[in-house]
Amino acid sequence: MLNFQFHTPTEFVFGRGTENLAGELVKKYGGTKVLIHYGGGSALRTGLYDKTVKSLEAAGLKHVALGGARPNPVDTLVYEGIELARREGVDFILGVGGGSAIDSSKAIAAGVPYEGDFWDFFAEKASPAKTIRLGCIVTLPATGTEGSDSAVITRSDGMLKRGMNSRFNRPLFSIMNPELTFTLPPWQTASGIADMMAHIMERYFTNTRHVDVTDRLGEALLTSIVNQAGIVMREPENYDARAEIMWAGTLAHNNLCGVGRETDFSVHKLEHELSAKWDVTHGAGLAALYPAWMQYQMPQNPMRLAQFAARVFGAEMNFEDPTVTAWDGIRRLAAFYTSIGMPVNLRELDARIGKSDIPELVAKVRRKKDGTVGSFRPLAEADLKNVFELAFDWKP
Ligand code: NZQ
Ligand code: ZN
């Protein structure tokens, strides 16, 4: 196991009716004037926005609002939010919605006190030294942004999608009411499930040895997600299943399962280029890449893939030839994706994607300093091309 520091200061406030505590929580953390930042309108339609305003007013807090954060949020609205917050003397940002509205809130919170261009943080030219206080009300279990130290924004000029990691990105509080997820369309529910599974798998496929505790935590989360997924897809208003999925999504990405080990995150880097160019849903993009990535990476450590297959999907372990078990696991994962309506290759993901787009995708993928992507078996230029090509029409 590697050395690590793990600090998750977020107060999670979970359960029915918790959105009504927004005002009290903002006050508790010292906010006096709040910017409510939300998405394309679901918060208005469901009545969550009105409840939030009521709760802030009951706590004697002033507020301004900015809607319009779209899926795969863009920099232009972040600039607008920074301007608005400065002009209005806002001292607290409350993100209301899915990962996009909350990530956009994180970028605004970092940008307000910064004299330069907030994009510097995403271009790795600077790190935030301080940010405005931030809390959120989550309506989509997927990204884990409610507990994560990351935010992901797309720069409209050149459609570059980039992440920024900072301890300031962890919200002071996150309100999580599973009932708020009842209105999610099936596609978003399923994409969220694929995303949270990917967050665990990006950490699971590692070369670090002696990480049994975090392996088992990840496997438990994955198994629970797979078990509950069928229920939430069939019964969108099943509170208990929604609650299990929601909490799993947080634990999948607050790094509980990533500490003490080298993590990979190459599939995320590849996917970000798909959602930047075609605006596809992030989780669906991950599902379309994972089977091919696992197949390509099998030679690196067939036993680790076989362990995943056996412990998460109940595949029978073939000790003489773990590649047999590993293959079984890839097929079972793909069948699971199909069962919840997720794609298993790029063709299924979006008909606009062509093989001729692959060189451009490869060119844009964010590399490490040594030019490769990921760490399980780092992907060099030729590997990136091979994985995209394999994913193009991957079949079980
Ligand atoms: O915009 P509104 O009208 O709110 O509608 C949204 C949007 O259309 C809708 N929605 C959300 N909650 C709803 C709802 N509709 C009905 N009822 C509800 N309760 O769902 C659609 C998708 O929302 P979005 O916020 O885009 O989805 P998600 O939460 O999956 O966020 C995706 C973004 O987060 C990034 C992704 O790359 C993508 O940009 N990620 C952020 C991470 C992080 N900060 O840690 C990690 C992830 O790996 C990911 O990269
Ligand atoms: Zn993700």
**245 and 97 within one domain:** no
Q: Tell me, what's the pLDDT at 249?
A: 98
Centre of ligand 2 to C-alpha 271, Å, is 9
Q: Tell me, what's the pLDDT at 287?
A: 98
Q: Tell me, what's the pLDDT at 8?
A: 95
**261 and 137 within one domain:** no
State the average pLDDT over residues 367-380.
97
Q: Tell me, what's the pLDDT at 369?
A: 94
Residue 145 Cβ inside 6 Å of ligand 1? The answer reads yes
**188 and 170 within one domain:** no
Q: Tell me, what's the pLDDT at 323?
A: 98
Residue 340 belongs to a domain: yes
**371 and 323 within one domain:** yes
Q: Tell me, what's the pLDDT at 331?
A: 98
Residue 201 Cβ inside 6 Å of ligand 1? The answer reads no
**188 and 78 within one domain:** no
CATH number at 196 reads: 1.20.1090.10
**327 and 235 within one domain:** yes
* Domain closes at, from 180, 205, 231: 180
For residue 367, the enclosing domain spans 184-392
Q: Tell me, what's the pLDDT at 213?
A: 98
Residue 55 belongs to a domain: yes
**189 and 173 within one domain:** no
Average pLDDT, the chain: 97
CATH number at 16 reads: 3.40.50.1970
Q: Tell me, what's the pLDDT at 14?
A: 98
Distance of alpha carbon 175 from alpha carbon 18, whole angstroms: 6
Atom of ligand 1 nearest to the CA of 42: 3
**22 and 145 within one domain:** yes
Q: How many domains does the chain have?
A: 2
State the average pLDDT over residues 219-242.
98
Return the structure tokens found at 186.
């099936």
**220 and 108 within one domain:** no
Centre of ligand 1 to C-alpha 225, Å, is 18
Whole-number percent of the chain with pLDDT over 70? 100
Centre of ligand 1 to C-alpha 163, Å, is 15
* Domain closes at, from 157, 180, 203: 180
pLDDT digits (tens, 9 = 90+) for 189-227: 999 999 999 999 999 999 999 999 999 999 999 999 999
* Domain closes at, from 134, 161, 180: 180
**150 and 252 within one domain:** no
**84 and 231 within one domain:** no
Residue 256 belongs to a domain: yes
State the average pLDDT over residues 338-363.
98
CA-nearest residue for atom 31, ligand 1, is 99
Residue 279 belongs to a domain: yes
Residue 5 belongs to a domain: no
For the chain, the three-class secondary structure string (H helix, E strand, C coil) is CCCCCCCCCCEEEECCCHHHHHHHHHHHCCCCEEEEEECCCHHHHCCHHHHHHHHHHHCCCEEEEECCCCCCCEHHHHHHHHHHHHHHCCCEEEEEECHHHHHHHHHHHHHCCCCCCCHHHHCCCCCCCCCCEEEEEECCCCCCCCCCCEEEEEECCCCEEEEEECHHHCCCEEEECHHHHCCCCHHHHHHHHHHHHHHHHHHHCCCCCCCHHHHHHHHHHHHHHHHHHHHHHHCCCCHHHHHHHHHHHHHHHCCCCCCCCCCCCHHHHHHHHHHHHHCCCHHHHHHHHHHHHHHHHHHHCHHHHHHHHHHHHCCCCCCCCHHHHHHHHHHHHHHHHHHCCCCCCHHHHCCCCCHHHHHHHHHHCCCCCCCCECCCCCECHHHHHHHHHHHHCCCC
Centre of ligand 2 to C-alpha 195, Å, is 5
**199 and 127 within one domain:** no
Residue 1 belongs to a domain: no
Q: Tell me, what's the pLDDT at 273?
A: 96
Residue 152 Cβ inside 6 Å of ligand 1? The answer reads yes
Q: What is the CA radius of gyration of the chain?
A: 20
pLDDT digits (tens, 9 = 90+) for 97-119: 999 999 999 999 999 999 999 99
Residue 193 belongs to a domain: yes
State the average pLDDT over residues 229-246.
98
Residue 361 belongs to a domain: yes
pLDDT digits (tens, 9 = 90+) for 120-171: 999 999 999 999 999 999 999 999 999 999 999 999 998 899 999 999 999 9
Entry pTM: 0.98
pLDDT digits (tens, 9 = 90+) for 31-84: 999 999 999 999 999 999 999 999 999 999 999 999 999 999 999 999 999 999
Centre of ligand 1 to C-alpha 113, Å, is 26
Pocket test for ligand 1, best of 49, 152, 201 (most atoms within 8 A of CB): 152
